[in-house]
Amino acid sequence: MGVVIVNFKAYREGFGKRAVELAKIADNVASRCDEYIGIAVSFLDLPVIVKEVGIDVYAQHIDAVDFGSHTGRINAEMIKEYGAKGSLVNHSERRLKLADIEYNVSKLKNAGLTSVVCTNNIPTTAAAAALNPDFVAVEPPELIGSGIPVSKAEPEIVENSVKAAKAVNSSVRVLCGAGITTHEDYIKALELGAEGVLLASGVVKAEDQKRALEELVGLI
């Protein structure tokens, strides 16, 4: 069983009512396949979606702060209170300082939540693995949203990121992402040693989101 995390980002097709619909699609597909399917949704949609689906729901980001005088911030304990499974950390579109990545990984762990630290290349994947998150997800930024799958266009980045991460921390789980769209892209990622994929546009922006996710996990 591989891991598939669908990041709804701030796409209109993955926000509000459409996010709830897409979450239900993901929940339904997950119930019919062997893969683990999780979703990463907007803060605004998260409390609604966790009540509507059985699959794990992640935040797309958290701030490296505790409770206190931090205007407009959301921390690990807050997303826990609303039923999140965990959070992406340091996504390419929401980069953090090293100290803040470490803070978030440790806060998520202390809260019993899952951390998915995003990285952009092999050295940063090794560095992130050293912080002992649950997952690292390597995503070359130039391929994000391109439809060109990292697992085919840059297989050596996936393969060597897995090796580098495992050399530092044998228990960390490695995902890859950027341009992943088809079942073939997904299988190739698994063949390269990744435990799964983090993806967005291939499903969220698809004309038929249900069909896209079914195809990705090999149901059709």
Least distance in angstroms from the C-beta of 191 to ligand G3P: 19
* CA–CA dist 59, 74 (Å, integer): 10
- Residue 51 or 94: the one with the smaller Cβ distance to ligand G3P is 94
52 phi and psi, to 5 degrees? Answer: -95, -20
* CA–CA dist 4, 16 (Å, integer): 22
Evaluate whether 189 touches 176 at the Cβ level (below 8 Å).
Answer: yes
Tell me: does residue 180 bind ligand G3P (CB under 6 A).
yes
Evaluate whether 111 touches 147 at the Cβ level (below 8 Å).
Answer: no
Catalytic (active site) residue 139: yes
* CA–CA dist 52, 85 (Å, integer): 14
End-to-end CA distance of the chain: 17
Catalytic (active site) residue 61: no
Least distance in angstroms from the C-beta of 144 to ligand G3P: 4
Query: Whose structure tokens read 């205007």?
Result: 71
Stretch that binds ligand G3P, among 24-32, 138-146, 158-166, 168-176 (CB under 6 A): 138-146
- Residue 53 or 180: the one with the smaller Cβ distance to ligand G3P is 180
Least distance in angstroms from the C-beta of 29 to ligand G3P: 16
Tell me: does residue 144 bind ligand G3P (CB under 6 A).
yes
Q: List residues near ligand G3P by CB under 6 A.
A: 7, 91-92, 139, 144-145, 177-180, 198-202
Task: Give catalytic residues, as residue numbers.
Answer: 91, 139
